Amino acid sequence: MSENKLVAEARTAFGKGAARKIRRDHKVPAVLYGHGTDPVHITLPGHETALALKHANALLSIELDGGSQLALAKDIQRDPVRSVIEHVDLVIVRRGEKVSVDVPVHVQGEAGPETVVTLDRPTLEVLVEATAIPEAIVVSVEGLSAGTQIHAGAVTLPPGAELVTDADTLVVNIAGQVSQEALDAELGEGEGADASESAAEAPASAD
């Protein structure tokens, strides 16, 4: 995964009023911490930050006062109505260091005929090098038949990645497709049973 360079500014004003002013200037308040260092409060460029954080687990290169620090977004706060970024918590990472991240699962291929593929687990937690976080974990269902279940332990991970999610976790389930005829028949049987029960429960008319 390539690094996303963001030029930051040191932040000295705090509180809701200061944060609102930063956002009015189309910037994002953030805090950078980790590896035993004191938290550093910074301001990030709004547009560039939003573009970088469109991708899960984006590796950021924070440029501040002539120095550079690699970081991952630990928490992103967004406005619930406008979806704009209001604040970002950034955790410092080092080259060669392994981090635990949730990576999206992408299903690839076509399962066997008359099947329905369900993605039960949209992400898998893995331990990977901070500078080699995969964008996705691909699970192939090509030609697999109904009744097949793929658990986390059976998923092929990218080189160097270690599974953190429980190996027995169901990731993809392949079920048989219910035909329209079978569905209609089942509904018809249900309606017939309901009618019989109603007739049986109805009181007999007096002569």
Residue 71 is predicted with a pLDDT of 96
Single pTM value for the model: 0.77
Q: Which residue has the tokens 């930050």?
A: 49
If you ran DSSP here, which 8-state letter would residue 177 be given?
Answer: P
If you ran DSSP here, which 8-state letter would residue 203 be given?
Answer: P
Amino acid (1-letter code) at residue 159: P
C-alpha count within 13 angstroms, C-beta hemisphere, residue 188: 6
Q: Is the pLDDT of residue 207 over 50?
A: no
> Where do runs of H (alpha helix) occur along the chain?
16-24, 46-52, 180-201
Helix (H), strand (E) counts: the chain: 3, 14
Average pLDDT over residues 195-203: 55
Q: In what order do the strands lie in the sheet with 170-176?
A: 115-119, 170-176, 149-151
> What confidence tens digit (pLDDT) does each residue in 120-179 have?
999 999 999 999 999 999 999 999 999 999 999 999 999 999 999 999 999 999 999 876
For 100-176, which CATH superfamily applies? Ribosomal protein L25, C-terminal domain (2.170.120.20)
In the chain, domain spans: 3-93, 100-176
Q: Token digits for 93?
A: 């990472």
The domain defined by 3-93 folds into Ribosomal Protein L25; Chain P (2.40.240)
C-alpha count within 13 angstroms, C-beta hemisphere, residue 111: 22
Mean pLDDT of the chain: 88
Average pLDDT over residues 47-51: 94
Q: Token digits for 137?
A: 């974990």
Q: Are 13 and 81 in contact (CB under 8 A)?
A: no
